[in-house]
A and B are shown apart, each in its own frame.
Chain A
Amino acid sequence: MAIKEEQIRPNSAASLLNRKVIEGRDTTYCIVSKNVSEYHFIVPFDLSEEERVEVGQIFSIKDQGLTFLARVLNIEHSSNYDGHWDTTMKGTQFFDDDQIFNRVIAEPLGCINKKLEFKKSRTLPTKFASVTRAEKEEFKFLSQVMGDIEVGYLRNGSRLVEEIPVALHSEAMDHHMGVFATTGMGKSNFMKVFAASCMRLFARGESKFGLLIVDPHGEYLKGKSKDLVKGLVHLKKYREGLACYSTNKQNASDPGVEELAISESEILPQDIALLYDWSPPQRDALEAISRILDPASWLEEIQSPEGMARMMQEGFKDSTVMVLVRRIKNELGRNSYIRKRSSLANILANLQKGKVVLVDIPRMSDRSELFLLSVISRYILNEYKKDEQEGQESRKNCLITIEEAQRVLGAGSNTTRFESIAREGRKFGVGLCAITQQPKLIDKQLLSQFNTLVVMGLGDRNDRMQLEESAKQDLSSMDIEIQTLEKGEAVVSTLNIPFPVPARIHRYEDYLRRLEKEDKQESLITRGGFKPFLE
């Protein structure tokens, strides 16, 4: 076969020279790789202070009709040069700035379609699709999935997105909530903001649950005036949403604060069990009490000679029973709120109406606080169980706050009361709000039942690991971010919002000022997306 001449021999100069010119094309802020679960884009290596990219920032990628959102996980030095070029580098007199850059590694959050629906993404953006810092426009869809309990503003890296409030869902509250932060990072502040939003909901007639806060530090009621830290009573506009009880005589003398009382008949031997470390025989004796004595009057009975005698008849040593009695007397003497009268029915009624109930017990010891919390929460759970059977429609759910929750929800702790609320409370509309600085001490299985997590700065790696391993939403990729959260910054993970949302929690005092200013009536109408507060 003859080889045709023109196959190899072009015959015009134009067809000989096939010139291609490559000119400077900006390849920064374009997707360059990698796959459906990880996006890479490059940015100049010498960005100015305000343009710098930070871990946790959210970027948006517009690609035909879709907008992908991705969160920065890490940033690396990188270049188009192979090998260990960096280590042989001679100075920083780069000629080709376009060849040296930072590689940003981002995790896809999902994708917004034309109808403004947000979905997890099963595909990846087109190569070289352009990347920009996400602005309020891209976050708008979030307003639609936010709930009714405002706690802060959306945060993009360290920047606030004031137009987008972060708000939790009342509906999720019986599914338990956890608030985690190293000490001083803003747990109490968060709780006050949360409570304020609940009070406001009540005042508007929109409350869906009652919130119980038992405060052993005396910080929620009036704050600390010397540090200009405000308390819940300072939210005058929505004061009707708050019911206060105090063991402190002076606090209780304020109008609108009731002196706390628990009746002896509401205390069970198991509650007393929480107060001390007991020897096995003592524990046996405690457990036998409700069998031997009348459950409604056992406290009085056991202190009488007849009661003692009946215990001894059952084979308990007098020394054992003496210890029990001595400790009980002690406790009754110390806790003057134990009387004939009781506030519990009232507390319950307020919770069921959907109010915030604050039980102020300043300077109470650790164990006494647990004791009280145990009595109140058992009462509440029992009443909610009854109501469930009686089919009470009108009552609201209830959320019980536990400070230093690792004390009662720890792996192997013997305080089964709270565990049982965690496990079965939901059926009856009772949720737990566990606050702790040491999530690593909380039982993993319990943790995995929490549907809402408010994670603030956590320095301890083990604390973060524990959360990452048990959270319902995947937090593991946010490790660096959680480690570097500053005071008041949080990552909010809740099932009704499609990805863990970075937030700046309002400073309570600022929020207070804003709520006092807002128009009660108007805000009634604009439910959900609140007007942003811009001073």
Chain B
Amino acid sequence: MEEWSRLSLVAELIRDHISLDGIDRYLAETGVQKSDFVLVEPSDFAGEIFAVDGSNVSLCNWSTADVNLIRAGYAVYRGREWRRTVITFADVLLADAKLCRNMFDPYLEQFFGLEGIDLKESDLDRLSSYYRELQEYVAINDALGEAHAGDIILYDGSFDVFEPLRGALAVIFARAEEKGVALLAVAKSSSLFWGEEITLPFVQHTGMAGSRLAPEAAWYISLKDKKVDASQGRWNGQTYIVRFCGQSEHAFRVDAPIFLQGEMGSVLGKLAAYSCSAECLGYPHALFRAHRDIRITEQEGAAVRQRLMARLSQGGMPHSKIRMLMQDFHDILEMKPRI
């Protein structure tokens, strides 16, 4: 078919370049060596694992500003046993560039002792994402308050964070170090890449290399001095690629603060013991649960949208006006009657 002529081109490209025949080129171009793969020995762990996550859905959006439902919190496990899930933030946010200081500053001041946020023009259209991140840091901070020395806190994401919030993260790192709590960020997707002619996915290819070099085992490699940019200088830590479970194909990007450098093997060993659930093989189970407990579902978003409209209506606003303000033209195109 004419209109799909590029499909075969893309397939060719994937076959020839992205799916690796061998790992020689990968090793040569990234500087990764066989000896970089450090095996992880799963070990029992009597402490608690905290997994922090956040979620965000848009209720209505005027491009210039939007209304979001945001939730952040964490799940707590001891061994295989879920102990509790704590929600630290669940609220509606009117993300307006003109009002944003008022939204960020109290949290930065109260929880991290920071001055206030300094936003650039270009940041303003991602306000709700930043706000969700901020709430996730508040959740990490709360988990830190509950954790004991030796416990592990996992964060769903990366520590290479939005610049104006880096200060909050620095405070968190310092508190974790002081308390003796291990803190790791585990990213489901990452923008790490390698390759000179074409952009190649680094995490996937490291996973493939690991399957060859350390088959059926859990392992990690440090990206220190490797030819891949993980912006490591920017946030005072180190990035790793980790396979948590020998039976799984998946590998993840893991960020850790500098103070954990010497303990990665033992911390990952503890996690490996709890990353092999039948529910989600190969991923730290606490993160799986946190994701499910904290995510905002489509229905939930719809329900809050309805409540918001009911409020407007009670306040005397005519339905036609509500519709005009709240309806998204995308929905009209998709013929989704959300309102």
Contacts and interface: CB of A to CB of B under 8 A. Distances in A.
Contacts of B211: none
A24 B82 contact: yes
Contacts of B84: 21-24
Contact of A22 (B86, B276, B285): B86
B281 interface: yes
B117 to A, nearest CB: 13
B277 A17 contact: no
A13 B86 contact: no
B34 to A, nearest CB: 28
Given A18-B90, A19-B87, A95-B285, A3 B278 contact: no
B91 interface: yes
A509 interface: no
Interface stretch (B103-111, B148-156, B228-236, B253-261): B103-111
A96 interface: yes
Interface in A149-192: none
A18 B88 CA distance: 6
A18 to B, nearest CB: 7
A24 B116 CA distance: 38
B271 to A, nearest CB: 13
A17 B99 contact: no
Contacts of A9: 102-103, 105-106
Interface residues of B, number: 36
A391 interface: no
Given A20-B86, A95-B80, A96-B82, A89 B102 contact: no
B87 A96 contact: no
A90 interface: yes
Interface residues of A, number: 28
B110 A8 contact: no
B94 interface: yes
B107 A3 contact: no
Contacts of A89: 278
A20 B90 contact: yes
Nearest to A89: B278
A257 B276 CA distance: 78
Contacts of B266: none
A93 B276 contact: yes
A506 B82 CA distance: 49
A240 B90 CA distance: 80
Interface in B13-58: none
B127 to A, nearest CB: 13
Contacts of A94: 277-279
Interface string B67-101: 00000010001001111111111110010000100
A11 interface: yes
Contacts of B86: 19-22
Interface of A: 3, 5, 8-11, 13, 16-24, 80-81, 89-96, 98-99
